[in-house]
Amino acid sequence: MNQIATMSSKQIMKIINSAIKFKNGKKVHLNKSIANIFLEPSTRTLISYQKAQNNLQMETYNVNISNSSLKKGETLEDTLFNLEAIGINYFVIRSSQEEYWKSFAKKHSIINAGDGRKNHPSQALLDAMTIYEHFGTLENLKILVVGDIKHSRVFHSNKELLKKFNSTVDYIGPKGISDKQLELSSIISEYDVVMFLRIQHERHESKKNFELYNNQYGLNDDTVKKMKEGSIFMHPGPVNRDVEITSNLLYDHPKNKILVQAKNGVFVRMAILEEICKNI
């Protein structure tokens, strides 16, 4: 499970429906061992993979990167060969290197937890589950993605997924991090789903000034009022408070799906793990 591009809409719906069954209490015991190797920071993805593994009664190991032999120069692939010899069956890996999995996915059982600016498949699947639960479909919806388009693997994976269901994905963001600029307030009323993205300062080549960001591209008391009836807003997290979304709207608005996304992450990752362990 390394990218959305190679998944069919049928495979995507299979994961979502399985995740919904897990949310409704389905129990599965996977008698396999798995290691989480996170070479980039994470809260949601790491902990929800760990929770999913515990729920499935998997044998789980977390590689502490700062104390691992990766720090002594061992390559990631040599680490995988040695962990397999020790008895690990599967690996959940996050790396800043785009498509790191391409050269060794055939030799090792890898689940991609995010690669650079390119792919974040489990995030797109949990976002799709959240949209599907709300609208009862992923077909023919209008989705607007707002923010740091240039550096976002979440945008890339969501776009890949939603186009398979004939939904429209438009985007806007400031110059330098998006090639389309429009005032959010002038178009927000057209969309069923508005996805806000984090400004990824750590990936920017030069320091940019985002003082006026919330006025033009952020969700605030004025822009939220313009949203279409029945529409929702989302954010993969972590949020830059009062930049992408003002603090008062972060957890307390009926259109807000941010914590539903976080919750669904556990069930989608249980569905992914079950699917992979059944097939490999």
CB of 190 to ligand CP, least distance (A): 26
CB of 36 to ligand CP, least distance (A): 11
Options 8-16, 75-83, 225-233, 235-243: segment touching ligand CP (CB under 6 A): 235-243
Judged by CB under 6 A, does residue 173 bind ligand CP?
no
Q: What are the backbone dihedrals phi and psi of residue 191, each rounded to the nearest 5 degrees, phi first?
A: -110, 145
CA distance 139 to 113: 26
Residue 176 Ramachandran class (φ > 0 left, ψ -120 to 50 alpha, else beta) = left
Judged by CB under 6 A, does residue 147 bind ligand CP?
no
Please state, as a whole number, how many other Cβ atoms lie within 10 Å of the Cβ of residue 45.
24
CB of 234 to ligand CP, least distance (A): 11
**Measured in Å, how far apart are the chain's first and last C-alpha atoms?**
11
The Cα-based distances of 110 to 35, 178, 184 in angstroms read 10, 31, 38
Candidates 43, 103, 181, 215; binder of ligand CP (CB under 6 A) is 43
CA distance 69 to 64: 10
Assign 244 to helix, strand or coil.
Answer: coil
CB of 144 to ligand CP, least distance (A): 19
Judged by CB under 6 A, does residue 96 bind ligand CP?
no
Judged by CB under 6 A, does residue 208 bind ligand CP?
no
Judged by CB under 6 A, does residue 50 bind ligand CP?
no
Number of residues that bind ligand CP (CB under 6 A): 8
Binding site for ligand CP (CB under 6 A): 42-45, 123, 236-238
